[in-house]
Structure 1
Amino acid sequence: MLKLDETDLRILQSLQEDGRRPYTDIAKEYGISEGKVRFRINRMLENGVFEFVIHTNPNKIGLHVQAIIGIITKIGFRDHVAEELASFKEVRFVGAFAGKYDIMIQAYFSSNEKLVEFTDHYLSKVNGIEKSDVFLELKDYKDSFSYIELSNE
């Protein structure tokens, strides 16, 4: 496992604030060379510490309905169900959980009708699902992928 030092964490924090930020600006801010910033970013990318992704605002592209769906599976079917759910384009996240639900998914839809179609025509046909509960998001208070917070010393 790659050991990250404070410089790595500061670089990550800078990229979380603005992933398009030039390496020269990051280097200048932390008093290191652009080559060192580039080397560290490439090393972290190669080691899977982070990846560059575009985080699209679902509402801006017509996906106005977000659902979190809790799923209870038949014993021995969790992996099969998770793999099948991961194949649906509407599903953004699939995770195994301890507690009431074996699997939780997050999915986006253009309308309530599309959500109903998904649950009635697709989810209902996945072999191994025993029960599901749908939770609709009413308001988004935070949606972030920023995990690093360093003090500005």
Structure 2
Amino acid sequence: MRDKLDSVDHKILTLLSNDAQMPYTEVAKHAGISPGTVHMRTRKMKNMGVIKGSTLSLDYSKMGYKMTVFLGIYLRESFLYKVVIEELTKIQEVVKIHHSTGKYDIFIKVHAKDSLHYRNLYQEAILTIEGIRGIESFISVEENMSRHINFES
């Protein structure tokens, strides 16, 4: 059972994915277990690499970033993906990068303050990366959901 997840682990993950700052005592109360068990199980899942940390969920629009754009990137040669991804990680407005199959070689998510900011990012930072053959962009008009999988089903 040491390297496997059970229903108790799934309950802990579900609770923490809804509120990563929930105290272990509160998690324990909701899960019907002791705080020591929550601590032990959480440490186990961190050691397994299941829990990779905790993050804040930010509303970028309230911080002046009014645009969310997804970019499908075509590479000149598929073996260049590591080099292109390394360059993309240097751009602070790029918040997600996926090496993907299908139509695009890489799919990314970008936050920009406005269309001028996005144009500058696109033309001066992204399009200048060696190895990119072409890009298709998709502007998000509204995010309707962002969640983790509910592991208690």
Regarding TM over 0.5, the answer is yes
1:150 alignment partner in structure 2:
152
TM-score normalized with structure 2 length: 0.91
1:51-77 per-position Cα deviation (integer Å, ceiling 9, x unaligned) = 211121111211110000011001131
- What corresponds to 1:41 in structure 2? 42
Indicate the larger mover: 16-25 or 110-119. Answer: 16-25
Match of 2:4 in 1: 3
Q: CA RMSD in A?
A: 1.5
1:21 and 1:124 mapped to 2: Cα distance? 42
Q: Give the whole-Å Cα distance in 1 for the aligned partners of 2:125 and 2:28.
A: 50
% identical equivalent positions: 28
Written as runs of structure 1 = structure 2, the 5 A alignment for 1:101-116 is: 101-116=104-119
Q: 2:27: which partner in 1? A: 26
Distance 1:141 1:32 in 2: 34
Deviations 1:94-125 (A, max 9, x none): 11111111001100011110100011111121
Q: Which amino acid aligns with 1:126?
A: I
Distance in 2 (CA, whole Å) between partners of 1:47 and 1:60 is: 36
- What is the Cα deviation at residue 21 of structure 1? 1.9
Which runs of 5 or more structure 1 residues have no equivalent in the other structure? none
Q: CA deviation at 1:47?
A: 2.1
Find the partner of 1:126 among 129, 136, 142.
Answer: 129
Gaps of 5+ in 2: none
3-state SS in 1 of match to 2:42: helix
Name the SS for the 2:144 alignment partner.
coil
Q: Name the counterpart of 2:16.
A: 15
Give the corresponding residue for 1:59. Answer: 61
Q: Which of these residues, 132, 136, 153, is aligned with residue 139 of structure 2?
A: 136
Matched residue type, 1:104: F
Once the 2 structures are TM-superposed, how far is the Cα of residue 93 of structure 1 from its aligned partner?
A: 0.6
Partner in structure 1 of residue 75 of structure 2: 73
Residue 82 of structure 1 and its aligned partner are, at CA, apart by: 1.3
Amino acid at match of 1:134: S
Shift in alpha-carbon separation, 1:121–1:29, aligned structure 2, 3 A: closer
In the alignment, the residues of structure 2 paired with residue 80 and residue 112 of structure 1 have an alpha-carbon distance, to the nearest angstrom, of: 27
1 CA distance for matches of 2:86 and 2:3?
A: 29
Normalized against structure 1, the TM-score is what? 0.91
